[in-house]
Amino acid sequence: MASVFEQLSADLASAVESAGHSIVRVEARRRQPASGIVWSADGLIVTAHHVVEREEVKIGLPDGTTVKAVLVGRDPSTDVAVLRAEASGLTAATWASEADARVGQLVLAVGRPDANVQATLGVINTVDGEWRTMGGGSVAKFIQTDVTMYPGFSGGPLVAASGSFVGMNSSALARGMSIALPPSTLVRVADALVAHGRVRRGFLGVSAQPARLPAALAQTVGQEIGLLLISVEAGSPAEQAGMVLGDVIVSLDGVTVRHMDDLMGVLVGDRVGKAVEAKIVRGGQAHTLTITIGERS
């Protein structure tokens, strides 16, 4: 009878073998190739943005063949790129439920930096709520692991013991940490890249910093902190709406704004071109302006 350890070892090996059918090699930089995940059977591949450094891309498929690929689009802020390989009949990845990612869960980082899959074992050590990357990208869930990100593993999957994919590994989103992008973020970004070649982001044309409101005014507007405008770009949507230096934004399109992260969270792609209400404080008085959200170039 196999021991518990032997059974666990066999199950993990089976998980890697199963995952390998949906993991490809991405040759898109001068140094060591990276990894990618089969997004769809007709050749869409999801990988890390930072590993795609040239236009001529080759994909090493699980069956050992190598095919050409083109860049569909990339989003540096979430470190996601989508490639289209000249291939069909691929095995698309099976994704785990995002709710199943738990602290202490055994996971495998699996990559294909050469012809064969490679794996390393670890645990999920942090699961947190929505967070914003250093590049301003919105990620639905913060998943940090202690897996060792060997060279070429970026763009490959974080794999559960069942063989399903928990997320896409990236070594570029947080310095010195192994981060996995959850499936919901990958779906949102990949869909945008396939549709537009980029992730559309809203633009106001302002620089701002949090500012505490006087007590009486805070009671009137229902919050103690707003965003004080320290610059307004000429010709920007903010200027066209009548915003001026010194205004304090307290809400945009019904969403309370206290910090820049709040404002960035409102400026998502589906609001581009939309006329929304902005509640501001100017000269100690509350005002409402209508602003049409622009698109960041």
- Catalytically active residues are 50, 79, 154
Report DSSP state, residue 284: T
| Three-class secondary structure of residue 259 per DSSP | coil
In sequence order, the 6+-apart residues with CB closer than 8 A to the CB of 278 are 241, 243, 249, 251, 252, 253, 288, 289, 290, 291
- In this structure, what token pair is assigned to residue 223? 């919050």
- In this structure, what token pair is assigned to residue 77? 């802020």
Residue environment code for 85-120, b if the CB has 16+ CB neighbours within 10 A, otherwise e: bebeebeebebbebeebeeebebbbbbbbeeebbbb
Burial label, 125 (beta-carbon count in 10 A; 0-12, 13-18, 19+): middle
**How many whole angstroms separate alpha carbon 157 and alpha carbon 153?**
8
**How many whole angstroms separate alpha carbon 23 and alpha carbon 113?**
10
**How many whole angstroms separate alpha carbon 126 and alpha carbon 43?**
33
- Count, residues in the chain: 297
- In this structure, what token pair is assigned to residue 251? 């809400």
Report DSSP state, residue 10: H
